[in-house]
Amino acid sequence: MTNSKLVQTATSILRKPGISKIAYELNGLLVTGTRYSMVAAAILDGRISCEAVSSFSTSKADSLAPLTKIGAKYDPDTNTMFFSSESYGSSNAYEQSVVLHEATHAMFDLYASCGDPGVLAINDESAAVLAQAHFFRLCAPNESMSIHRFSMQIDGPGETSLALVDKMMADTGDFVRNTDVYRLKPTQTEKLRTAVAQEWNLVRIVESDGVRDRSGILDVYDGVSGCCRR
Ligand SMILES: [Zn+2]
């Protein structure tokens, strides 16, 4: 059952004027303001649900946004954005950026189709963290406490994504002079992807008893229309 307060919060965040300026492509993943407005529409008509839960399953800890171990997550199996309370994101800018992070995952699900092989988790999370960085620059530039919370880890996903969005804004005149989709080159996203790989443990580790390789983990999205519901 979708939570009407969270629906209101999420849709108002997705409809902030700054969100409409977002337009980038990261390793084949397209993130745009238009697509966020479609996510908002899907939330409003119930194809994507918003729910408050008292606890999260730890097995999906690696799908959470940085520093939000129990804050929020998007579950593609049930097309649901879960939040730790029904007031999540209603006033705190950091939480609002996390709502946008989860809405980015929801976007990839909304634009996926049945039989899609999935998205590399490292690209999925990098794109979602970069969306958070856009939120702070375009929608909450004066929220220094929240920006600090997002970026305090040196060379972490927050800091590297803010540096990347600053470069993108310098290149495009704050997304005003050039409104084309910003197609990120692999060299531009290398630092962010490295930070994300560390944060979400999406790495290949060689140990004495063998190799643990999480670098190729896929996040599976199969669309929200329900054509191949499990
Ligand atoms: Zn995520």
Structural domain boundaries in the chain: 4-219
| Residue 105 alpha carbon to ligand 1 centre in Å | 7
Query: C-alpha dihedral over 70, 74, 75, 76, to 10 degrees?
Result: -160
Dist CA 3 CA 6 (whole Å): 5
pLDDT category at 227 given cuts 50, 70, 90 is: low
| Residue 144 alpha carbon to ligand 1 centre in Å | 22
pLDDT digits (tens, 9 = 90+) for 106-130: 999 999 987 888 899 999 999 999 9
pLDDT digits (tens, 9 = 90+) for 72-114: 999 999 999 999 999 999 999 999 999 999 999 999 999 998 7
pLDDT for residue 63: 53
| Residue 209 alpha carbon to ligand 1 centre in Å | 30
pLDDT for residue 230: 47
3-state secondary structure of 80: strand
Tell me: pLDDT of 228 over 80: no
Token duo for residue 5: 């307060």
pLDDT for residue 68: 46
Beta bridge partner(s), residue 24: 31, 182
Dist CA 78 CA 80 (whole Å): 5
| Residue 208 alpha carbon to ligand 1 centre in Å | 31
